[in-house]
Amino acid sequence: MNALNTFEVAPARPVLGVLWMILAGLCFVAVTAAVKSMGNAMPAPQSAFLRYLLGLVFLLPVVPAFRQMHLAPRDWGLFGVRGLFHAFGVMLWFYAMTRIPLAEVTAMGYLTPVGIALGAALFLGERLRLRRIAAIAAAILGALIILRPGLREVSPGHLAMVLNAVFFSGSYLIAKRMTGVVPPSVVVGMLSIFVTLGLAPFAFVVWVPVTWAEVAWLAMVACFATAGHYAMTMAFASAPISVTQPVTALQLVWAVALGALFFAEPVDLYVIMGGGVIVGAVIFIALREQAMARAEGRALKARPPEV
């Protein structure tokens, strides 16, 4: 028997995938709650820098892969640009957390996947089909429902989250390109290193004395963020995206509940409605991407072999 035939595709386990995605969502909401609890005693660039600096300890398992990689100068440049994009996005996110309610940060955070879908069409040559255009338009409508420009003041925190989506979209588009060059673990590791380096000068400019309690909070943020990304990866490995992606909508529910119960933030029906529209658009885009990938896979299998 051919050795290649001894490997079988792991069967889908939808219940396990949903449980992993629920855990991922809880971890990410815990990150936002921990940052919210810290308040604005520490400047956003400094908080972001310390969070990533403390998170470097999680890179230790990736060190062997780092030793084996050989990157071209262009690859180093792309990692550097991604680090800057992500650094700006992280600073904007930390800033928004101290300016607007938890639910609004969470809801507007769903704009990033929409930006990725649009950027993939503009910069990576992916086809922008009518259904994807409709989903992107729906997501923009959802953001307008949350912001309600002209009906209320759009705060700097809201603008920060819009720019956050732009910078994060650029970061993840570069990551999508680099996953074909190096292993995913290296992509994640290089992000942590370059984001830490990118945040350092901004943090030192606004540096204020740090207490051990604040260090402990940021260490907890790093732990929850790492655990969330691991759980999300396990969810994708356990079940199709059509099963796991809808579960991400629960993050908005938990964010609204946390904001109301622990931070005395009023429940804004416009935020829930606009966030629901954005989440629906994100889920639709994800499901369409999966359907297209399956169709392309079937087309490749049906193609006659070349002589």
Tell whether the model's pLDDT for residue 186 goes beyond 90: no
| Higher per-residue pLDDT: 233 or 146 | 146
Mean pLDDT of 237-264: 82
- How far, in Å, CA of 202 to CA of 29, rounded? 26
Contacts of 222 (CB under 8 A, 6+ apart): 51, 52, 54, 55, 57, 58
Query: Which pLDDT score, from 0 to 100, does residue 252 have?
Result: 87
Output the CA–CA distances (angstroms, integers) from residue 298 to 24, 125, 288, 295, 301, in the order listed: 31, 22, 15, 5, 5
Q: Which two tokens stand for residue 109?
A: 């955070």
Chain centroid to Cα 197, Å, comes to 20
Contacts of 96 (CB under 8 A, 6+ apart): 105, 108, 157, 158, 160, 161, 164
Burial 54-63 (b: 16+ CB within 10 A, else e): bbeebbeebe
Tell whether the model's pLDDT for residue 293 goes beyond 70: no
Q: Considering only 48-62, 232-246, 249-263, which range has the smallest mean pLDDT?
A: 232-246
Per-residue DSSP letter, 12:
P
Tell whether the model's pLDDT for residue 234 goes beyond 60: yes
| Higher per-residue pLDDT: 243 or 109 | 109
Helix (H) or strand (E) run with residue 110 in it: none
Angle (nearest 5°) at CA 165 between 199 and 72 = 55
Amino acid in the structure at residue 177: R
Q: How confident is the model at residue 251 (pLDDT cuts 50, 70, 90)?
A: confident
Q: How confident is the model at residue 153 (pLDDT cuts 50, 70, 90)?
A: confident
